[in-house]
């Protein structure tokens, strides 16, 4: 299941997509993840998921449900993840 996309820092117009497998594993389609099974994109999503879980905004099963029509909890989760990622990115950039 596709969770979010990140723009490439080195190739304008290219995006990397972070997914979640049925078993809950978070993975990315970038070359770093394919080579090492770890990348900043997947780590960012995992960190954001942990923040949402620790604040009681989602539970572990929320993310592994199939994609539902627009307006679903999944759509709201993607918006929340994007929003938290934006807040964290802005905070880091100001730092």
Q: Count the domains in the chain.
A: 1
Q: What is the dihedral of CA 58, 59, 62, 63, to 10 degrees?
A: 90
- Check whether 72 has a pLDDT greater than 60: no
- Expressed as residue numbers, the domain containing 30 is 2-94
How many whole angstroms separate alpha carbon 33 and alpha carbon 78? 21
The CA-CA-CA angle for residues 49, 21, 33, to 5°, reads 80
Higher pLDDT, 68 or 44: 44
CA atoms within 13 A on the CB side of 93: 6
Which range scores top for mean pLDDT: 38-42, 64-68, 76-80, 83-87? 38-42
């Amino acid at each position: 299941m596709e969770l979010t996309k990140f723009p490439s820092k080195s190739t304008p117009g290219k995006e990397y997509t972070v997914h979640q497998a049925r078993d809950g594993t978070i993975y990315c389609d970038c070359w770093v993840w394919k080579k090492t099974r770890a990348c900043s994109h997947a780590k960012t999503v995992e960190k954001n998921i942990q923040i949402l879980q620790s604040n009681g905004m989602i539970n572990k099963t929320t993310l592994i449900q199939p994609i539902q029509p627009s307006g679903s909890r999944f759509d709201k989760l993607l918006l929340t993840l994007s929003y938290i990622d934006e807040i964290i990115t802005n905070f880091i950039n100001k730092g």
